[in-house]
Amino acid sequence: MSRDTDDPTTWSAGEIAEKIASGAVSAAEVTEACIRRINQVNPSLNAMVVPLFDRARVDAAAVDRARSRGESLGPLAGVPLTVKESFDVAGTPSTLGLSSRARHRAANDDCHVARLRSSGAILLGKTNVPQLLMGNESDNPVYGRTNNPWNTERAAGGSSGGEAALVAAGGSALGLGSDIGGSVRLPAHACGIHAIKPTSGRLTMASDAPVFPGQEAIVVQPGVMARHVGDLRLGLQCLCAPDQIFVAELPSSSPPRVDQMRIAFYTDNGVISVAPAIARAVREVAAALANCGARVEEWQPPEAAEAWTAYLGIMLADGCAGARRMAEGSRLQPRLRHMFLCGRFPRWLLAGVASPVLRMLGQRNLARDIGAMGHVSAEEYCRLVQWRADYRQRFLDSLSRGGFDAIVCPPDALPALLHGGSEFLASALSYPAIYNLLGMPAGAVAVTTVRPDEETRRAAGGDRVERMAIECERNSAGLPVGVQVAARHWREDIVLNVMGVIEDQFSGSPGYPRRPPI
């Protein structure tokens, strides 16, 4: 995003903190600028669903008083922050889009919200999510639908979609989301911003609403979202402060420079092919990193299709029983009703009967995904978890044979979805979800926009998923496109270094997604 030296809503979080600390601007001025911006864009976006403007003004005034007294300020002092609706904030609802939770009020701030606020961030409010955080578009019966700031006929992504839309539009400088299958990376890609998911287990989600109770094989992680890569590092450093239980500090040693790295890249995982603009973005990033001195090589992740079905199998092993319990008494959106219906059948029936019938009817993608759904026995679940552990070792062994420090690949198969388009396009999530299955840190970084001559090149046919993908790709010119960067466990520093170089290389290019037209 281009920066207006007179407009705080275009500044990075780091710039805001520096200007407030120096006295060049007050926290109150920055807060009011962001509130004005939210009031300007939110009628079109519906991204902010729980505004906390009065509290924000009080907190901003406290930062300004502390500075006037010469007190030491936190690293985020005065930085405008928004958080995903599912994170608890004292006195506010965390409904997850469920009408049965409309009267919920949190007693305390979530530990990560508290950590960012104790670092000086000014919390402006909470942003929209999909119902039960399940889906790649942020729409629910409680708050309604969030629109993409680049095209209001498109979804902002999910499940941190309201967060991505508001950050992209300049409503806040820093966002807190969460990610169990791409939920910060998918909307960052769709809205033209950046995001990072830490290594699984680096940060606790002990205070999070239990959408997947007892799920330890694939764990949700908080994620940071921003318009500038440097702000991801700043936010993650604040979240990873070592005075919390279950928090691992970021690496203290200096990571290798990009010109000392060997980087793998791929454009197709064998599950579903990506849109032309996304493949182009990955290849252009690979070339740019090579020009910066990195040794870059095309590579194929092992068994990616099997990894996708294992991800679905583990996540849906209880047949959505836990999610159904949470949703009792709430009106459900169609995509959840259909998922819950499939979950009521045993997997052997879906895999042995429904999947072959769908394949016979030419529905290859639906056949694969349906065959991985349904509830399983404890023995089968343990087998899936063991496959995941073995696969992680095979994946890391493949990286080691190539000597790779990082991976560059698509963050999604498609640009921002059309509203209502996510139900039949779940396989597009296979690109980010593999790194949740593996537990590796991964980020999404904005690179370019879709060109008019590259909207779709798919062959029309009978497969419904492919037809829906064609519909999504049509009229997508001008939508943002990002790439995904991943690295070995606990090496968020490498992910952020590579993302920073990509931002430096592409942020000045004509196609780079700057401020959206909203």
Catalytic residue annotation: 84, 159, 183
Burial class (CB in 10 A: 0-12, 13-18, 19+), 399: buried
Backbone angles phi, psi at 60, to 5 degrees: -65, -40
Q: Decide: 183 and 477 in contact? Cβ < 8 Å.
A: no
Place of tokens 């993608």: 365
Distance CA 416, CA 473 (A): 9
Closest by alpha carbon to 83, among 48, 56, 131? Answer: 48
In what helix (H) or strand (E) does residue 186 lie, and over which residues does it extend? helix 185-191
Contact 175, 164 (CB under 8 A): yes
Identify whether the C-beta of residue 502 lies closer than 8 Å to the C-beta of residue 289: yes
Cα distances (angstroms) measured from residue 390 to each of 266, 300, 307, 387, 411: 22, 18, 11, 5, 24
Which two tokens mark 470? 């064609």
Residue 154 forms beta bridges with which residues?
A: 418
Q: What are the residues whose beta carbons fall under 8 Å from the beta carbon of 160, sequence distance 6 or more? A: 84, 127, 129, 138, 175, 177, 178, 179, 183, 184, 187, 195, 223, 225
Q: Which of 442, 423, 192, 187 is nearest to 301 (CA)?
A: 442
Two structure tokens written together for 413: 């198969």
Are the CB atoms for 354 and 370 separated by under 8 Å?
Answer: yes
Beta strand ranges found along 85-156 (DSSP E)? 122-127, 139-140, 144-145, 147-148, 151-155
CB 50 within 8 A of CB 80: no
Classify residue 452 as exposed, middle or buried by CB count within 10 Å of its CB (0-12, 13-18, 19+): exposed
d(CA 243, CA 223): 19
Phi-psi label, residue 201: left if phi above 0, alpha if psi -120 to 50, beta otherwise: left
d(CA 484, CA 412): 8
Q: Cβ(262)–Cβ(297) under 8 Å? A: yes
List, in order, residues 6 or more apart from 145 with CB less than 8 Å away.
46, 137, 138, 139, 155, 419
DSSP assignment letter at 375:
B
| Collapsed DSSP state (helix, strand, coil) of residue 236 | helix
Cα separation, 405 vs 167, whole angstroms: 30
Q: How far apart are CA 27 and CA 298, in angstroms?
A: 47
